Structure 1
Amino acid sequence: MKLLGALTAGLLVTGCATTGAPAPSTVRPPLIPIPTGTAGLDHVLGTNAANLTRMFGAPVADIREGTARKLQFGNATCVLDTYLYPKGTAEPVVTYLDARQTDGSPIDRASCVGALQAGRRK
């Protein structure tokens, strides 16, 4: 009797399964790799806020949180976020930076640095 009950329950569950056509697959465009190295960034990494301002002009944002500082620079091409942290008692310097196009799309960090500097030379 228990076997018959288990068999009946299994058949009922099987009857609830859908047999429709599979959902269409979403085809995504291939991902474009964004270089993550620091090539072309050596003159930005390790520099202080005064040098950043000389390189890129006045920041569009200056955010301080404890001893850390974020300076954001931008133009029509991209936005560059630079993160400055102190090393010991020394002045905070750039230890990390991130970049994106103005629409939020990814862009190579070195390309953004170049675009910001090119805009400054005009």
Structure 2
Amino acid sequence: MHKIILALLPLTMVAACGGGGQTKVASASVPVRDVPVTSAPRPVISAKGLEAVMGKDSNALTRLFGEPRLNVQEVYGRKLQFSGKACVLDAYLYPDGKNGGEIVTHVDARRSDGAEVDRAACVNALQKR
């Protein structure tokens, strides 16, 4: 008899834990609706003052700032880095989907010590050199 109980014990433990992935819960008379999952809103990063670079291709950037300090080919795009006394500007270019050319979709700016600076001010400073 003990052998039968010991043999069935693991099965009862699995049955108690498994539940088949469905749990029924008694609820009040509140209807349950499917609510679509949405992500948190992304912070808006203003492109004001960046009109000289946003949407431009690498040739336009070279005409504006000179030769890039770095030209890094990434898997899906390219990063061009321009630097001057005031700041370092990283311009990220990705395919525009129209003619296959790469255009600037995002820029980051910082001082040479890594401290963040205003992106538009950096663009202006690099143009004046």
TM-score normalised over the length of structure 1: 0.66
1:67 aligned partner: 76
The alpha-carbon deviation at position 103 of structure 1 amounts to: 1.2
Equivalent positions of 1:81-96 (< 5 A) are 81-88=90-97, 89-96=99-106
Equivalents in 1 of 2:84, 2:52: separation in Å?
A: 19
Equivalents in 2 of 1:87, 1:59: separation in Å?
A: 21
In structure 1, list runs of 5 or more residues that go unmatched.
Answer: 1-35
Q: CA RMSD in A?
A: 1.5
Equivalent positions of 1:53-64 (< 5 A) are 53-64=62-73
Equivalent positions of 1:1-122 (< 5 A) are 36-88=45-97, 89-119=99-129
Amino acid at match of 1:93: I
Secondary structure in 2 matching 1:98: strand
The alpha-carbon deviation at position 66 of structure 1 amounts to: 2.5
Identity level (%): 48
Secondary structure in 2 matching 1:70: strand
Equivalents in 2 of 1:87, 1:73: separation in Å?
A: 22
Equivalents in 1 of 2:81, 2:59: separation in Å?
A: 13
TM-score normalised over the length of structure 2: 0.63
The alpha-carbon deviation at position 70 of structure 1 amounts to: 0.2
Secondary structure in 2 matching 1:72: strand
Equivalents in 2 of 1:91, 1:67: separation in Å?
A: 12
Q: Which one has a bigger Cα radius of gyration?
A: 2
Higher RCO, Cα 8 Å, sep 6+: 1
Aligned length: 85
Query: Runs (4+) of structure 1 moved beyond 3 Å?
Result: none
